[in-house]
């Protein structure tokens, strides 16, 4: 049986949130971290746990080794202890650099506190005695590039595997070393470190640290320790061991080779980022039967990896297991090409002599010497777009041809390019010839070079959402985001005046703002004329399906074979989505990015990989020349066989409301379902309802006017009507408004029985056609969760109410007669567990008996027009929507997923909180409008105290008969922490509000009934918490009341790692289309699996 090796990596593997999943889920990991953190706090004055998991500024803190050093040790040691507790025990430990401290502790040479203390002292002494330094990871043979002159300014700090080494140097020599490597055609990356570890430039800390180490006493190793400083296995540690592993070069490759001559192993990477496991994939000798296991990654799944490793490697005492050696799958590779900005005078000098025929053809197509332009640039044209783009295309192509020759011609798994570089990616993938590509780029450069009157600027230090928020806040609507280059590098484009005006605004936010030397606003709306002309030019060409997937800037997804020309044209006026392109490749398990001819993109890729999560797209990526085995895994096109999104649900329902899809967006309280939301849905052909509940009549009227001013051509829309048994006149006033403005569709909610106002709306829309058939001009979509309420809506209106309305002259005698021939509502929406008011029902339990009831009432009343029944509540992804249709729903209605969209009336702060919730981040709380009877609403729980506080208020109400009975200590807590006002101040505001509404009787009632007064004071808190959430007040976020359901958590999970992860990219109509398309795909896949089974 193979021996188990725990491997511990060093500085540079850290990242914020490392180990957070394990910290939350694994008691041993959590307790170990908590036990060690006080030592860091006492010596450094800061908490590792806070920096990793709590502080928003934690990423900056981790840039200092006094935090990153102990953080790495703590995570590695805690992970090792977690493995040991699960019966995964090492036979040997291997430490690389800083990882040697955790290795020594697990080997039993020192206890964890002593090792951590030594880590902290090393970090503090380096900060005190050593000048800043740099380290570069280099791909290439050191013997070839470490010339005598270059060795004077840098040192070889590590040999990780053949062709991968690390150089250390002082900060002031970085540019010289990079230039040397660049001239030698070598790929390299800067490492995220502060000092030149493993080199003479940290020797200033040597003696102070050795003096400190004299106080330590090492025990003989209980487990052998493989030392990467000496490439040997140690049974005892010398007194200066911890200095040696910091100063001596890392000999990881030699260490592994020495081990492999003795045995085969199960290598378990206990480091934060799987760094050593990656090195091993390239460094194990040919034919090795050793296994490699990775546990932690910046991209998550730590718990799943832990479970898998534990299952494979557990070896309880006294028991042996046989394990078949396996190798992890090879690394996926992407070749990437830089775009405009990577050009420099002299580029191509190494490759022009290699491909004279191509250089000659390029010059013939361009009408000038491309070689003279690149090498001499005698007319200073290389920086002009019309010349830059074809020159860079040619040099990129020649560099790639040389790369293929030198590396055996094997194709990568993916290609991608930044802006112009995308043409080289398509060329490499065989989409067109060298000559065609150059003609395209020549025309593109001419069009883009001719554009004028625009400008661009790079914003450094802010995320895309932060940049967009600043643009929105300052109404800089003339500016577009042009390039999503990295998590902290965003390029904006717009008019010259707008870009100039924006500089002061961004600089005032302590952001770096760099105006770019360009003549136009590339990749923005201002390039649409050029885009249109280029599209006409592209129509003259035909394209071949790429043999390797090429990731498109415009979408961050692979090119579609039949849309190459369309996508290339769109790229000119659309943003470069480089972050999403790299995240998509990360989701496809690409961990080898090879940049051709430069390292511009490599730096961006490194930052993206360190800070962003992968985009995991379930669609298979196939070479474009290979047809998929089954069409059901792709979206079903119009006219194609299979289930189509436009045919889901009931055709009658779609026809009734004039819809393309059997899908509605439900109303959300207090205008969260805003006029803008309803307008956008209506223009897209979807029915949605304005959230009138809780709004004063003037706001409702303004909403109607706004919607009707935009939806003038019969597009669908509706308004919300909430039952109001306490103040029926208020309900009647809303119906009066609807009738006044000719509203024909309403969503009825919170009704327990039929009310005169509701029935009046329904009946006042009844008439007969020329044949005497009943025509229902007023439609009600009734949201119900109880069978008795469903029955009431599916029955004719109560005769007593009809008679009363007729007597009052509010309906005609014909309408009274027709009332017995139609149900109150032809459209019933069964609402399962949802946000806001909910009975917490289960869809699969509720819908089937309701459908049976529907069929029975339809038959018994012999309605001429069938009743449709849909489902709402819990629909946050395609699987849930598919389940609704399979249960028999005629339509679906979504709610919670729409409140976190651009159009929703929720505050930006509220949306930002909602986009982060998971399926368990909601809670039931008392409903403010029905507080006394204990009715419940479902609300946001994550990051707020509202649910707990609201439930406490209900408990106090149930246990006390007045405010005066509340204990003084509790009263102080409520007034000081919950309300931030005294009971008397709140009652004064409440009484004044009732009087202003003409409801003086409520004040009289409360003064006479102390318990009712207590209820009204407590109700004030509910209204306050809703108001501040809607307004987005920063100072009291913990009191936000946001009604939402777990469906939003499900939706957030579904769109994780896609552009829709940010609410700023969520549009309510696009969500609907995406959800329905995915639902159809899911049903087609499921049906195919069923047939195959």
Segment 932-946 shows an average pLDDT of: 83
For residues 888 and 765, membership in a common domain is answered with: yes
528 lies in some domain: yes
Write the CATH number for 350.
3.40.366.10
Please report which helix (H) or strand (E) contains residue 495, including its range.
strand 489-495
Question: Which of 184-188, 196-200, 232-236 has the least mean pLDDT?
Answer: 184-188
43 lies in some domain: yes
Burial (0-12, 13-18, 19+ Cβ within 10 Å), 421: buried
Check residue 187 and give its pLDDT: 79
pLDDT digits (tens, 9 = 90+) for 772-815: 889 999 999 999 989 999 999 999 999 999 999 999 999 999 99
Please state, in angstroms and rounded to a whole number, the distance separating the CA atoms of residues 946 and 1026.
10
DSSP state, 203? Answer: G
822 lies in some domain: yes
623 lies in some domain: no
Closest CA to 912 of 947, 904, 928, 834: 904
For residues 728 and 663, membership in a common domain is answered with: yes
Segment 869-885 shows an average pLDDT of: 94
859: which residues sit within 8 A by CB, 6+ positions away? Answer: none
Please state, in angstroms and rounded to a whole number, the distance separating the CA atoms of residues 779 and 657.
9
Please state, in angstroms and rounded to a whole number, the distance separating the CA atoms of residues 675 and 712.
14
Q: Give residue 1009's pLDDT band: very low, low, confident or very high (50, 70, 90).
A: very high
5: which residues sit within 8 A by CB, 6+ positions away? Answer: 90, 91, 92, 93, 94, 226, 259, 265, 266, 267, 268
For residues 765 and 868, membership in a common domain is answered with: yes
pLDDT digits (tens, 9 = 90+) for 642-689: 678 888 999 889 989 988 899 999 998 889 999 999 999 999 999 999
For residues 947 and 857, membership in a common domain is answered with: no
Please state, in angstroms and rounded to a whole number, the distance separating the CA atoms of residues 338 and 347.
13
Write the CATH number for 182.
3.30.70.250
Write the CATH number for 841.
3.20.20.70
Is-catalytic flag, 31? Answer: no
Check residue 283 and give its pLDDT: 80
For residues 386 and 303, membership in a common domain is answered with: no
Segment 346-375 shows an average pLDDT of: 93
What is the overall mean pLDDT for the chain?
88
Of 594, 611, 628, which marks where a domain is finished? 611
234 lies in some domain: yes
C-alpha to C-alpha distances, 222 to 103, 104, 265, 1031, nearest whole angstrom: 11, 10, 18, 62
Helix and strand element counts for the chain (H, E):
44, 31
To the nearest 10°, the Cα dihedral for 824, 828, 830, 831? -80
490: which residues sit within 8 A by CB, 6+ positions away? Answer: 458, 459, 462, 463, 464, 467, 481, 483, 484
Q: Check: pTM over 0.75? Answer yes or no.
A: no
Q: Give residue 408's pLDDT band: very low, low, confident or very high (50, 70, 90).
A: low
φ and ψ of 774, to 5 deg: -75, 135
Locate all alpha helices (DSSP H) within 821-945, ordered by sequence. 843-861, 878-887, 908-914
For residues 184 and 234, membership in a common domain is answered with: no
**Beta partners for 137?**
166, 189
222 lies in some domain: yes
pLDDT at 612 over 90: no
For residues 885 and 937, membership in a common domain is answered with: no
1089: which residues sit within 8 A by CB, 6+ positions away? Answer: none
C-alpha to C-alpha distances, 451 to 209, 502, 571, nearest whole angstrom: 61, 21, 15
Active site residue: 165, 419, 602, 674, which one? 419
Active site residue: 523, 778, 826, 1067, which one? 523
Check residue 618 and give its pLDDT: 47
How many structural domains are present in the chain? 6
Residues in the chain, how many? 1093
pLDDT digits (tens, 9 = 90+) for 156-185: 999 988 888 999 999 999 999 999 988 888
1075 lies in some domain: no
φ and ψ of 922, to 5 deg: -120, 165
Is-catalytic flag, 523? Answer: yes
Instruction: Give the rounded distance of the alpha carbon of 438 from its chain centre.
Output: 37
Q: Give residue 95's pLDDT band: very low, low, confident or very high (50, 70, 90).
A: very high
Domain carrying residue 177: 133-193
pLDDT digits (tens, 9 = 90+) for 956-987: 988 899 999 999 999 998 998 889 899 999 99
Segment 847-855 shows an average pLDDT of: 93
Strand 332-337: give its sheet, edge to edge. Answer: 550-551, 414-417, 332-337, 590-595
Of 281, 313, 345, which marks where a domain is finished? 313
CB distance 252 to 283 below 8 Å: yes
Which tokens go with 997? 């509404």
For 712, other C-beta atoms within 10 Å of its C-beta total 7
For residues 144 and 263, membership in a common domain is answered with: no
Check residue 935 and give its pLDDT: 73
CB distance 401 to 452 below 8 Å: no
For residues 574 and 425, membership in a common domain is answered with: yes
Q: Give residue 58's pLDDT band: very low, low, confident or very high (50, 70, 90).
A: low
For residues 238 and 184, membership in a common domain is answered with: no
For residues 268 and 352, membership in a common domain is answered with: no
904 lies in some domain: no
Which tokens go with 644? 């189509």
Closest CA to 503 of 493, 491, 515, 486: 515
Please state, in angstroms and rounded to a whole number, the distance separating the CA atoms of residues 964 and 960.
9
Of 248, 280, 313, which marks where a domain is finished? 313
For residues 375 and 430, membership in a common domain is answered with: yes
């Amino acid at each position: 049986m193979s021996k188990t090796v725990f491997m511990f990596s060093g500085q540079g593997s850290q990242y914020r949130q490392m180990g957070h999943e394990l910290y939350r889920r694994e008691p041993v990991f959590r307790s170990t971290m908590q036990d060690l953190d006080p030592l860091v706090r006492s010596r450094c004055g800061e908490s590792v746990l806070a920096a990793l998991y709590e502080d928003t500024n934690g990423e900056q803190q981790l840039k200092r080794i006094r935090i990153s050093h102990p953080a790495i040790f703590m995570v590695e040691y805690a992970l090792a202890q977690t493995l040991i507790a699960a019966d995964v025990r090492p036979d040997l430990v291997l430490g690389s650099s800083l990882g040697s401290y955790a290795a020594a502790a697990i080997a039993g040479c020192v206890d964890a506190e002593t090792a951590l203390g030594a880590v902290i002292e090393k970090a503090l002494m380096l900060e005190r005695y050593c000048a800043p330094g740099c380290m570069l990871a280099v791909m290439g043979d050191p013997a070839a590039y470490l010339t005598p002159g270059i060795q004077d300014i840098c040192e070889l700090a590590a040999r990780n595997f053949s062709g991968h080494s690390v150089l250390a140097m002082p900060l002031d020599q970085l540019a010289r070393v990079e230039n040397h490597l660049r001239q030698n055609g070598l790929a390299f990356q800067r490492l995220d470190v502060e000092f030149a570890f493993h080199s003479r430039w940290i020797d200033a800390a040597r003696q102070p640290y050795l003096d400190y180490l004299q106080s330590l006493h090492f025990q003989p190793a209980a487990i052998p320790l493989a030392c990467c400083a000496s490439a040997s296995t140690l049974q005892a540690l010398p007194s200066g061991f911890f200095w040696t592993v910091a100063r001596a070069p890392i000999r990881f490759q030699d260490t592994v080779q020495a081990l492999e001559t003795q045995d085969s192993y199960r290598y378990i990477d206990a480091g934060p980022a799987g760094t050593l496991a990656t090195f091993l994939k390239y460094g194990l000798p040919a034919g090795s039967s050793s296994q490699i296991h990775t546990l932690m990654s910046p991209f998550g799944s730590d718990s799943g990896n832990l479970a898998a490793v534990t299952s494979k490697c557990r070896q309880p005492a006294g028991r042996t297991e046989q394990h078949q050696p396996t190798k992890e799958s090879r690394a996926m590779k992407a070749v990437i090409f830089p775009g405009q900005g990577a050009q420099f005078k002299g580029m191509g000098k190494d490759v022009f002599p290699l491909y004279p025929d191509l250089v000659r053809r390029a010059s013939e197509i361009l009408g000038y010497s491309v070689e003279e332009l690149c090498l001499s640039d005698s007319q200073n044209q290389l920086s002009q777009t019309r010349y830059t783009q074809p020159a860079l295309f040619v040099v990129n192509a020649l560099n790639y041809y040389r790369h293929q020759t030198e590396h055996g011609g094997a194709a990568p798994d993916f290609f991608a390019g930044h802006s112009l570089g995308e043409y080289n990616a398509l060329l490499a993938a065989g989409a067109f010839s060298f000559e065609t590509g150059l003609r395209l780029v020549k025309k593109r450069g001419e069009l883009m070079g001719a554009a004028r009157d625009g400008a661009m600027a790079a914003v450094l230090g802010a995320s895309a959402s932060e940049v967009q928020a600043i643009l929105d806040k300052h109404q800089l609507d003339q500016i577009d985001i042009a390039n999503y280059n990295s998590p902290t590098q965003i390029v904006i484009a717009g008019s010259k005046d707008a870009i100039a005006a924006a500089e002061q605004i961004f600089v005032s936010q302590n952001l770096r703002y760099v105006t770019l030397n360009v003549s136009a606003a590339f990749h923005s709306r201002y390039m649409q004329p050029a885009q249109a002309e280029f599209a006409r030019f592209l129509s003259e060409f035909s394209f071949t399906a790429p043999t390797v997937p090429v990731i498109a800037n415009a979408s961050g997804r692979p090119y579609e074979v039949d849309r190459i020309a369309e996508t290339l044209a769109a790229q000119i006026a659309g943003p470069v989505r480089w972050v999403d392109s790299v995240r998509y490749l990360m989701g496809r398990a690409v961990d080898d990015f090879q940049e051709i001819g430069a390292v511009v993109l490599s730096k961006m890729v490194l930052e993206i990989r360190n800070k962003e999560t992968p985009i995991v797209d379930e669609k298979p990526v196939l070479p474009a020349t290979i047809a998929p085995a089954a069409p059901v895994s792709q979206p079903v096109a119009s006219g194609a066989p299979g289930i189509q999104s436009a045919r889901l649900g009931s055709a009658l329902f779609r026809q009734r409301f004039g819809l393309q899809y059997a899908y509605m967006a439900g109303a959300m309280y207090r205008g969260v379902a805003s006029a803008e939301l309803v307008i956008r849905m209506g223009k897209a052909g979807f029915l949605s309802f304005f959230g009138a509940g809780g709004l004063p009549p003037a706001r409702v009227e303004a909403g109607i006017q706004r919607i009707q001013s935009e939806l003038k051509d019969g597009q669908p829309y509706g308004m919300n009507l909430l039952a109001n048994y306490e103040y029926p006149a208020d309900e009647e006033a809303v119906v009066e408004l609807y009738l006044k403005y000719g509203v024909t569709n309403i969503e009825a909610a919170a009704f327990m029985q039929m009310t005169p106002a509701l029935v009046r709306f329904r009946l006042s829309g009844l008439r007969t056609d020329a044949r005497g058939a009943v025509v229902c001009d007023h439609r009600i979509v009734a949201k119900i969760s109880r069978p008795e309420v469903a029955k009431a809506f599916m029955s004719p209106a109560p005769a007593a109410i009809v008679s009363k309305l007729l007597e009052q002259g509010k309906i005609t005698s014909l309408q009274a007669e027709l009332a017995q021939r139609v149900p109150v509502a032809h459209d019933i929406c069964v609402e399962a567990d949802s946000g806001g008011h909910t009975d917490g029902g289960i869809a699969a339990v509720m819908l089937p008996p309701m459908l049976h009831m529907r069929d029975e009432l339809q038959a018994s009343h012999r309605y001429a027009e069938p009743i449709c029944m849909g489902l709402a509540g819990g629909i946050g992804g395609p699987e849930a929507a598919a389940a609704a249709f399979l249960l028999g729903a005629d339509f679906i209605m979504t709610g919670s997923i729409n409140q976190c969209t651009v159009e929703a009336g929720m505050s930006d702060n509220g949306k930002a909180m909602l986009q982060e919730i998971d399926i368990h981040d909601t809670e039931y709380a008392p409903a403010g409008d029905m507080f006394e009877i204990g009715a419940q609403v479902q609300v946001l729980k994550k990051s707020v105290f509202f649910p707990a506080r609201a439930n406490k208020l209900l408990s106090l109400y149930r246990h006390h008969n007045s405010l005066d009975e509340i204990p003084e200590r509790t009263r102080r807590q409520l007034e000081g922490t919950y309300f931030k006002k005294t009971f008397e101040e709140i009652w004064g505001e409440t009484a004044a509000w009732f009087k202003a509404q003409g409801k003086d009787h409520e004040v009289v009632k409360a003064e006479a009934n102390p318990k009712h007064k207590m209820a009204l004071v407590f109700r004030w808190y509910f209204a306050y918490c809703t108001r501040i959430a809607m307004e987005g007040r920063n100072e009291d976020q913990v009191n936000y009341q946001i009604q939402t359901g777990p469906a939003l958590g499900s939706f957030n999970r579904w769109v994780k790692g896609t552009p829709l992860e940010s609410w700023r990219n969520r549009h309510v109509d696009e969500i609907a289309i995406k959800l329905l398309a995915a639902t159809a795909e899911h049903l087609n896949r499921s049906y195919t699996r069923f047939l195959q089974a």
